[in-house]
A and B are shown apart, each in its own frame.
Chain A
Amino acid sequence: MSYEDWFRQDRLPHIYCAGCGNGTIINCTLSAVDSMDWKKEDTVFVSGIGCSSRAPGYIVTDSLHTTHGRALAFATGVKMANPRLHVIVFTGDGDLAAIGGNHFIHACRRNIDLTVVCMNNQIYGMTGGQGSPTTPRGCLSTTTPYGCAEPAFDLSELAIAAGANFVARWTSYHVKELERAVKVGLETPGFSFIESLTQCPTNFGRRNKFRQVQDQIEYLKAHSLLKVKRDRMLEQGEAIPEDMYLVGELMRRNRPAMGLPHTEAKP
């Protein structure tokens, strides 16, 4: 099979704008899923609301497109009620970190056996470009017309602090790395969180001096700092530039997880 076999062909064309990075992330995710040798009937995609959350509608498996921010709570019910199912959640920065922030930290804390792919475009794309919890300070959006005054959330750091077993961050430029990270996430028991920064030319790029789609992809590439490199710089006492996104595998551990098949809760 190939990742294309996972698409619901009769739903195409999709709603994503020209130049959107979500398709790249969906392809990387489905390629990783395809490499797992899973049956479609054992795989469920869950999402909330937003551009990212439309993804399950284009996938042939059972899929649950839920309410804004609540995808992880729905997914928790699916997984706990039938641990045999592989449950993958698509979400975005607004869905996950603003309205769904509480569900996010508690799903990490429970370390429930889900794989979460977050398309972080740093903006509310679906509703026309409002500032989100990951909009960088100073950036323009329709609700931050004088520049975002708030500091941005580091979603991966949040997932690590809250207890997730596997955390990785890449960008829509790093397609091979992203696919590999999703695959490790799918293989790792417990909560796996894969964040991908991505371009939103329609609502982020055009307001923030990225005149072409590739300008923003190049920016994400140029502002990615590999974790191994960052660690080396720290060892050597070098200063870490502030505007860099730390990328790579940020956490892999084996804390006790919930929702695993063939395990019984300890009394």
Chain B
Amino acid sequence: MTRTEFWQGNIASAEGALAAGCRFFGGYPITPSTEIAEHMAARLPKKGGVFIQMEDELASIASVIGAAWTGARAMTSTSGPGFSLMMENIGYAAMTETPCVIVNVQRGGPSTGQPTMAAQGDMMQCRFGSHGDYAIIALCPASVQEMYDLTVKAFNLADQYRVPVFLMADEVIGHMRERIIVPDTVEHTGRPTFVPGTPPFKPGSGLIPGFPEFGKGYGTHVTGLTHDERGYPCATNPGLHATLVKRLVDKIESATDALADFDVINPDADKVFIAYGAPVRTVQQVLQDHPDKKIGFLRIRTVWPFPGHALALFRNARRFIVPEMNLGQIAREIERHTDVPIKSVPKIGGDLHTPAELASILESGS
């Protein structure tokens, strides 16, 4: 049995988190993500969970990581300025392989920018924002339904891959209200099993170590320093550092096919839109308005790791058209994966691309 609701995107994300079994939320108010924290503050105590408003976003993500080590599914939500503050401990989560979910309802930046306006300007920051080499997973919802579904998925992937997973929403998707089908139950993937007595950071299947939850008597030392398989600091061993950091990247990048989540529409088309997040809605409108034109559309939900192999599915593509609410961040990533010419259609300021704007690009042939 399912039920139908009429929800705001941010509420759908919070409800998705609750359905996924999230039992800890550490947050700090920031527009346009605040509804998620408010909803969790109201709902989590009734589910036996913990909501805590921390003193800043540095502390929010720190508390989430601490909670995650006790075995709890834990999350935070934020937007640009708070996201910048979280970068330090996102690196810590990557280095310590701590499962956690971070929702970024993107707004216009840099700096304080446009608190109430939509943007996709943090797509590179979520991939590369903390110092050093690492890899993460980022999902981009384009509907209220996906705010729910992809939040559930984010928890499963965070646990499965022991990595921070980002729900990279934007103000439009976070604040829009639409119909949503709420399932009775959702899929639940656990963390990889830890075998007591084995080194806690020894990688198992998929290059991922078992999760030695705190409080079970495993006596695990967790550190952001370069560490060996026992978890002990070995910060001046070049080979060990290289092995560890390459594994942190490889465990995600080698799973790119498994993590890929995209739709292919009209794979024979020669002009192909590529979009994620809010611009998906405009592209969908263009396709609906021009059913006779056979316009191609690669609609991406898992942006990181980037599913480069999806581009080859459009065998006749002569141009990829990439509308983004930034100055072409993912267009540049697409360029790395294909020889097909790219038409980046950047738009910043907070307004969505209009269907007419995108249709005119089809007409212009450039």
Residues of A within 8 A of B (CB): 8, 11, 39-42, 44, 46, 56-57, 60-67, 70, 73-82, 84-85, 102-103, 106, 265, 267
Contact = CB atoms under 8 A, between A and B. Distances in A.
Contact of A66 (B56, B62, B64, B216): B62
B191 to A, nearest CB: 15
15 contacts: A11-B232, A39-B217, A41-B216, A41-B217, A46-B66, A62-B219, A62-B222, A63-B220, A64-B222, A73-B66, A76-B52, A77-B70, A80-B52, A81-B23, A82-B215
B224 interface: yes
B13 to A, nearest CB: 20
Contact of B219 (A60, A74, A102, A267): A60
Given A62-B218, A70-B88, 13 more contacts: A40-B217, A40-B219, A61-B219, A70-B59, A73-B66, A75-B66, A76-B66, A78-B66, A78-B69, A82-B72, A82-B214, A103-B58, A106-B54
Contacts of A44: 214-215
Contacts of A81: 23-24, 50, 66-67, 70-72, 74
A103 B59 contact: yes
Interface of B: 23-24, 26, 45, 50, 52, 54-56, 58-60, 62-72, 74, 88-89, 92, 214-225, 232-233
A21 B68 CA distance: 33
Nearest to B214: A62
A57 B55 CA distance: 27
B172 to A, nearest CB: 31
Contacts, number: 130
Nearest to A74: B66
Quick one: which of B64, B89, B214 has the most chain A CB within 10 A?
B214
A76 B215 contact: no
A97 to B, nearest CB: 15
Main secondary structure of the interface of B (DSSP, over half): mixed
Contact of B214 (A8, A39, A67, A78): A78
A138 B366 CA distance: 70
Contacts of B50: 80-81
A90 to B, nearest CB: 13
B214 A77 contact: no
Given A80-B50, A103-B55, A106-B55, A74 B214 contact: no
Contacts of B216: 41
Contacts of B233: 57, 65
A39 B219 CA distance: 11
A85 B214 CA distance: 9
A82 B215 CA distance: 9
6 closest Cβ contacts across the A-B interface? Answer: A77-B66, A77-B63, A41-B217, A73-B62, A81-B67, A73-B59
Given A81-B24, A265-B45, A67 B224 contact: yes
Given A76-B52, A82-B215, A106-B55, A56 B221 contact: yes
Contacts of B63: 73-74, 76-77, 80
Given A44-B215, A85-B214, A106-B55, A67 B221 contact: no
B59 A57 contact: no
A267 B214 CA distance: 29
A85 B59 CA distance: 20
Contacts of B217: 39-41
A110 to B, nearest CB: 8
A74 B59 CA distance: 7
A81 B50 CA distance: 7
A46 B24 CA distance: 19
A82 B24 CA distance: 10
A76 B54 contact: yes
A102 B55 contact: yes
B138 to A, nearest CB: 22
A76 B60 CA distance: 10
Contacts of B215: 41-42, 44, 62, 82, 84-85
Contacts of B55: 73, 102-103, 106
A247 B113 CA distance: 49
